[in-house]
Structure 1
Amino acid sequence: MENNMAFTIPAWVPEGAQRYLAHTETGQSIRDIARSAGCHASTILRQIRRIEMRRDDPLVDAALQSLAQTHFAEPEAKPDVMTTGLSAVTPEEAAAARDERFNREALRILRRLCETGSVLAVAEEMDKAVVVRDSGDGGATRTAVVDCEIAQALALKDWIACDNPGRISRYRISTSGRTALSRLVAEAENKARARSEFGMAEAQSPFHAQMAQGQGGEANTNRPKRMRYSVAESPLIALARRRDRDGKPFLDEALVRAGERLREDFELAQIGPQVAQNWDHFLTAGGRGSFGSEAHGGRGSSDARGRVEHALSDLGPGLSDVALRCCCYLEGLELAEKRMGWSARSGKIVLRIALQRLKRHYDMQAERNRMIG
């Protein structure tokens, strides 16, 4: 039964949930499941009891119901291939695509849930869940939207947890969710590195070297340490919690949104064939080399790259430095000040000025788009 389950339900479903469904939906005895799994029956019994106790969680209960209806209903005549447009997709390929989508969505949502004050809110009988972040003064900002089926999967895997389920249940990232996020980030970096090394071998840039993971040995001792995506929160979120002399947030929500908009375009620009994009010509400190956007083969996410280049060019030297480091590379203020040779505690002032200029840039772009036509 264990081997068959791997072909009938998604790979993300935890082993305990697979065995629970095999017992409750097919009537397979605990001893038979234990015999197939090669473990003691008491182990299977504990797993099944644990899943049963978790059914008070609305997302866990909905996930189990959905899996039961989809994969354990009365068998019907199912074709060996599914047609999508003019192409044929086998069940295995469709399952792999679903698992890939889950990992991508899980990475996106878990990143947001790691930000301080963030929760995933789920309302009864709604097909979408939202991630909201406490912005202070009783306000909240929506930072992400996700299908409920993805939220159900996150809950079933115990990556998010709810202390008090209700009409609107609020979930927070769990310890196992943080561990899973670190793994997903590493996997995403490895895939991006593989695409860069095998698809664009000639496009070696300082940023690519900064992101590449050292493999050990003398050849890598002088390589810059790669930048890891912060699994805690961005520097902007931490700075927005601080207060100025008047007791107001040092960065208001509009400035944070401007910085996160730049960061989103920056991340989009790394997707696709051109993952080794070199942004270091915007770093005046250190005298980086010249750069030409047409020097790299493949367009990649050209629109996103164009938006980032336009925004950084509008900021100009100095301001583009701190915006690129803190908003895109996610460097902390102390590290940015050290690398740029600034005095202590001056970085936050320059960063706020950069974000104000960046917000004005986006406002002008929006006004220009409204005037077209």
Structure 2
Amino acid sequence: MQNATPSGIEHNSVLRWLPDEVHLYLKHTEKGTSIRSLARDMGVHASTVMRQVRKTEARRDDPLVDALLTRLGAGVRDGQADLDPADHRQDDTMEDPVSPHMMRLLRAMMKDRAVMVVSQGVDTAVVLAARDDGDPVTLAKGPTEVVEVMALRGWIEGNTQGRICRYHMTAEGRVALNRMLAQAESRATGFAEAQTPFMGLAGDGTRGKAARSTQRTRRPIGADSPVRVLGRAKGAQKPYLSPDLVRAAERLHRDFALGQCAVSGLNSWDRVQAAGQGQGLAVRAGHPSDRKLDARRRFSDAITALGPELGQIAMAVCCHERGMERIEADMAMPARSGKYLLRVALSYLARHYDQVAGDDHDLIY
């Protein structure tokens, strides 16, 4: 297979998991496309593209990231890697060959005292954990190419000096694992991936200068959600959303997905409130859909605790993953006020979760 990595994973399968800035970086460095040309295609200022390119270049200090970008760059030059996102970002995540390895490695790194070991020149990474007697035990193994994607996404970090590198799981990695597990549980219960637009408003299905469509496209595989973007630190600055607020947002999204709220019409605060007052959220003991109904009840309780105003913005950002500028326009909010209102909503949401039992983790593990 000419367009595959040493482990047999195709280049395009790896590209599905990379953010847009990496695609821009490869187009600029390998295809020679100018910064201004890329900015025109995206409909943004050239400085925006330049920052994204420099951000990706700075990540090459990590040997895993450098090896991944070097190999993908060679694939782009040889025509073996397709940088057109429209051609390779529409597949189901669970059908991608990277996903099983990703989930297995991330779940293993959740264990106590787990560390990922990557040796230079070895095509397999190993997750180890120290036993009480001091000897390490192997928890999982996976292709180095998958670990390289995890390093580029910021899901693992650690000591990258020497021939043997050791990595630990980051908060972003835990969030990504929760999201993948929730998606897997949703598919197992028949949850449709395409969600209905928030408040009946159409999403922006294209990028750059393309016209808006009436169908909302899926978020690219592995791309950061709006909450995770606001929860990342920028240089020496602290993240806008603290880790506890990000966890609260991810918990709301998980219950929204597990409860199949999108396909059940629970897309606004009014509908959630109406369903909570009726029998739509009642749980019947011993029924096969108990877990779905439990998640739907937890979601309804959380949204009701927020109230209509904060509940709407929490659903728009956490559940439907709409961009902040779109939300501000749709809800007639002042420019750049959405982030502050979201932080207020997530603060109320975090306090709500602190007051209830956190016994929902067994539904997805």
TM-score (norm 2): 0.48
Which structure has more RCO (C-alpha within 8 Å, separation ≥ 6)? Answer: 2
Between structure 1 and structure 2, the one with the greater Rg is: 1
TM-score normalised per structure 1: 0.47
